[in-house]
């Protein structure tokens, strides 16, 4: 055989050999589920392990399971890798519940690898237990700190686990099981202590338990994190309002209102609550009462509109049943200015009777006319026939100005009247007025 022929045969053999190698190149390392079941184990491995791994990568879990089952009949590293691969195949095929018993056995058998931990973590997560999945994924992260895919999935499961724990805590708190709720919160905070959502969930639990100071501490911690999303800031403001820290609520809602006009109403409510916190006790009780009396309404007007103290009196009505009361100043002034009507026959203003919706509307509209001055009344009242033309017209006009709702029952609560008066103040050209 001449040299040319020898070199030709050698070249052909090299080409054939290269072709065989090219048909099954080693797969690149992965950093997310599924991982190569051989990772972290020392060989040698049965050829079926490689075949099963390639089937997994192609998404063919059924074929992978068969290959791993064949390899699992061996011993040593091949058997261990086959057990991990079989778990991965079940998860890929959508049977995580069937993988869980295998996980229990495999995790007890020696030190687990990252591939086993992620496989069993996925089985737990996809079976509806993100907390169990997160615990296993965190162990995988510790074994493979450089694999970003594992770390990313671990963070995802941490979020799901903490969200689930907070949801369970709120359900427990709603049912009065505060010890269980706090245990769930503690676990959620242990998983993710710098999560605003978790801190706000803890605040809601403490609010439900009546622990307002603890609730506010959680709110402050959440806000201190900074860069909160708008829904989280809104929730922080609502909890601050509910827990009674009105200055904190104002500090939340005022910036929100500047960013989004939708929060203007909440900002106004927070500012009003802050002002009310400095009112005398009687006025605060009236402003919070579910069924406001006529005397309570007069007291609120007296406090919110100091202009009425010096306003010119044109009526001559006298409320005989208000003269000997401790709150006679506010009540008699409201009657004298025509803000509340008096029975012309008995001269009684009925101070302790509930304030009707019609009387509340007439009070605010007459107050608007009294305080408008040369600049005229609010635009919403321009061209109106006047609030004295009847109950229905008064309610309709007050509703048009956003002072009251047209529905809501025959009587008005303290919060509704106070909000309406605060709205009226914003419509008038006068300032907020001095404090008595």
Position 325 in a domain: yes
Residue pLDDT, tens place only, 307-346: 888 888 866 677 888 888 888 899 999 999 989 999 888 8
Dihedral of alpha carbons 51, 57, 58, 61, sign: positive
Whether residue 263 is found in the same domain as residue 333: no
Binning the chain into helix, strand and coil, the percentages to the nearest 5 are: 70, 0, 30
Residue at which a domain ends, from 156, 179, 214: 156
β-bridge mates for residue 356, sequence order: 411
Instruction: Please write the tens of the pLDDT for every residue from 117-158.
Output: 999 999 999 999 999 999 999 999 999 988 999 999 999 999
Question: Mean per-residue pLDDT for 65-94?
Answer: 90
Q: Are 122 and 204 part of one and the same domain?
A: no
Percent of the chain at pLDDT above 70? Answer: 88
Give 389's pLDDT tier (boundaries 50, 70, 90). low
- Count how many domains the chain has: 3
Q: pLDDT tens, 269-287?
A: 899 999 888 888 989 999 9
**Same domain flag for 147 and 130:** yes
Which one has a higher pLDDT value, 258 or 373? 258
Model pLDDT, residue 74:
67
Q: Are residues 293 and 241 in the same domain?
A: no
Residue 2 lies in a domain: no
Quote the pLDDT of residue 102: 96
* Cα separations in angstroms, 65 against 27, 85, 116, 374: 19, 7, 15, 88
CA 368 to chain centre: 39
Do 247 and 328 belong to one domain? no
Q: Are residues 294 and 356 in the same domain?
A: yes
Residues 259 and 292 in one domain: no
Q: Residue 10 domain-assigned?
A: no
Same domain (yes/no): 309, 400: yes
Q: Are residues 118 and 55 in the same domain?
A: yes
Full domain range(s) for residue 222: 194-276
Mean pLDDT of 82-87: 96
51 and 147, same domain (yes or no) = yes
In a domain, 186, yes or no: no
- Between vectors from CA 249 to CA 195 and to CA 427, what angle results, nearest 5°? 140
Please report whether residue 326 resides in a domain.
yes
Which of 110, 129, 156 represents a domain boundary (last residue)?
156
Torsion, Cα 101 104 105 110, to 10 degrees, reads 160
Q: Are residues 291 and 417 in the same domain?
A: yes
Q: Is 412 among the domain residues?
A: yes
Checking if the pLDDT of 244 tops 70, the result is yes
Residue 342, in any domain of the structure:
yes
Helical ranges in 373-410 per DSSP H: 391-400
- Non-local CB neighbours of 108 within 8 Å, separated by 6+ positions: none
**Within-domain flag for 163:** no
Nearby residues of 386 by Cβ (< 8 Å), 6 or more positions away: 365, 369
Element containing residue 218 per DSSP (H, E): helix 212-224
pLDDT in tens, 205-241: 999 999 999 999 999 999 999 889 999 999 999 999 9
Q: Determine the average pLDDT of the residues in 294-308.
A: 93
Cα–Cα separations (whole angstroms), residue 378 to 31, 132, 250: 66, 61, 26
Q: Which CATH number goes with the domain that contains 123?
A: 1.25.40.10
Q: Are residues 309 and 372 in the same domain?
A: yes
- Mean pLDDT for 299-309 is 91
Confidence of residue 386 (pLDDT cuts 50, 70, 90): low
Q: Look over the chain and give the mean of its residue pLDDT values, rounded to a whole number.
A: 87
pLDDT value at residue 296: 95
Put simply, whether the predicted model's pTM sits higher than 0.75 gets the answer no
| Ordered DSSP codes for 38-68 | TTT--S---HHHHHHHHHHHTT-HHHHHHHH
Last residue of one domain, picked from the residues 258, 276, 294: 276
């Amino acid at each position: 055989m001449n040299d040319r022929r020898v070199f030709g045969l050698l070249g052909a053999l090299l080409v054939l050999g290269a072709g065989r190698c090219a048909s099954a190149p080693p797969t690149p390392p992965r950093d997310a589920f599924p991982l190569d079941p051989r990772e972290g184990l020392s060989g040698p491995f049965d050829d079926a392990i490689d075949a099963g791994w390639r089937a997994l990568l192609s998404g063919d879990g059924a074929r992978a399971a068969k290959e791993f089952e064949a390899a699992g009949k061996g011993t040593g590293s091949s058997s261990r890798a086959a057990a991990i691969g079989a778990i991965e195949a079940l998860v890929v095929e959508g049977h995580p519940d069937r993988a869980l018993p295998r996980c229990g056995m495999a995790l007890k058998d020696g030190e687990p690898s990252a591939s086993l931990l992620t496989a069993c973590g996925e089985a737990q997560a996809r079976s509806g237990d993100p907390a169990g999945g997160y615990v296993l994924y965190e162990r995988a992260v510790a074994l493979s700190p450089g694999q970003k895919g594992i770390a990313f999935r671990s963070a995802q499961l941490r979020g799901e686990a903490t969200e689930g724990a907070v949801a369970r805590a709120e359900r427990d708190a709603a049912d009065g099981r505060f010890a269980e709720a706090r245990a769930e919160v503690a676990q959620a905070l242990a998983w993710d202590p710098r999560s605003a959502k978790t801190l706000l969930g803890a605040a809601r639990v403490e609010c439900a338990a009546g622990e307002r100071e603890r609730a506010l501490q959680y709110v402050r911690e959440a806000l201190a994190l900074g860069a909160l999303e708008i829904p989280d800031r809104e929730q922080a403001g609502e909890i601050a309002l509910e827990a009674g820290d009105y200055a904190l609520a104002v500090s939340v809602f005022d910036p929100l209102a500047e960013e989004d006009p939708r929060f203007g109403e909440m900002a106004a409510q927070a500012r009003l609550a802050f002002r009310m916190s400095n009112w005398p006790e009687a006025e605060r009780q009236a402003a919070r009462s579910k069924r406001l009396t006529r005397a309570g309404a007069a007291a609120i007007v007296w406090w919110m509109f100091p202009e009425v103290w010096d306003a010119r009196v044109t009526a001559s009505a006298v409320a005989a049943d208000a003269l000997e009361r401790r709150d006679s100043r506010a009540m008699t002034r409201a009657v004298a200015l025509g803000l509340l009507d008096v029975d012309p026959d008995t001269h009684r203003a009925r101070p302790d009777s509930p304030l009707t919706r019609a009387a509340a509307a007439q009070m605010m509209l007459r107050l608007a006319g009294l305080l408008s001055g040369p600049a005229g009344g609010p635009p919403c009242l321009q061209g109106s026939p006047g609030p004295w033309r009847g109950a229905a017209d008064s309610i309709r006009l007050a509703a048009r100005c956003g002072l009251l709702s047209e529905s809501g029952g025959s009587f008005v609560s303290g919060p509704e009247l106070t909000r309406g008066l605060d709205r009226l103040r914003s419509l008038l050209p006068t300032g907020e007025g001095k404090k008595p």
